[in-house]
Amino acid sequence: MNSWKEEVDSLNTLLSDFQKDIDGSRKRESELLVFTEKLTTKNAQLQSETNSLQMQLDKLTFMERESQSQLELSNQARDELENKSKKEDELHRNKVQMLEMELASQQKSFADLNTKAEELKDELMTQKRKHAANLKDLTKQLQQARRKLDNLENGSYDKEVSSMGSRSSSSGSLNARSSNEDRSPENTGSSV
C-alpha cells in the first residue's frame, strides 16, 4: 500500500513539474509576443520616418527643378535684353541690372535648395542604413527568441515523453505485482 502511495506521489510530482513547465512556456510565449509587438511598432516608426524624409526630398527635388527652369528662363531673358541694349542702351541698362539682381537671387536660392537637397539625400541614406541595420538586428533577435521558444517547447515535449514512459513501466510493475499476489498460496488456499 505504501509503495502505491509512493508511486502516486511520484506521479503527482511529475504532473506538478509538467504544469510548471507549461506555465513557464506560456509566460515566455507571452513575453515573446510583447517583444514581437515592440519590434513591429519600432519598424513601423522607422518606416514612417523614412517615408517622411522621402517626401521632403521629393518636394525639394521638385522645387529644384522649378528653380532651374526659372533660372534658364531668366538667362534667356537676360540675353535677349542685352542684345536689345545695344540699340536702347540707356533704357535697357536698368532692366538688365534688375534682371541680373533677380538672377543672382535665384542662383543663390537654387544653390541653397541644392545644398538642402544634398543634405536630405545624405540624411535619407543614413536613415536607410540605420533602418536596414535595425531591421537586420531585430530580425536576428526575433529568430533567436523563436529558437529559444522552440527549444523550450521541445524540451517540455521530451520531458513529457520520458515521464509517460516511466509512468507506463510503473503501471506494468503494479499490474505484475497484483498478478503475483493473486497467485500466492494464501489466495489459492482461500479460493479452494
d(CA 31, CA 11): 30
Q: What per-residue confidence (pLDDT) applies to 175?
A: 52
| 63-107: pLDDT as tens digits | 999 999 999 999 998 888 777 777 777 777 777 788 888 889 989
Q: What per-residue confidence (pLDDT) applies to 121?
A: 92
Any domain includes 162? no
Any domain includes 5? yes
DSSP 93-152: HHHHHHHHHHHHHHHHHHHHHHHHHHHHHHHHHHHHHHHHHHHHHHHHHHHHHHHHHHHH
Any domain includes 126? no
Q: What per-residue confidence (pLDDT) applies to 134?
A: 94
pTM (two decimals): 0.30
126 vs 97, higher pLDDT: 126
Any domain includes 112? yes
Q: What do you get for the CA distance between the two ends of the chain, in Å?
A: 26
Any domain includes 159? no
As given in the structure block, the three cell numbers for residue 73 are 528662363
| 16-60: pLDDT as tens digits | 888 888 888 888 888 889 999 999 999 899 999 999 999 999 999
Any domain includes 7? yes
Domain holding 2, by residue range, is 1-118
Any domain includes 147? no
Any domain includes 107? yes
Number of domains the chain is built from: 1
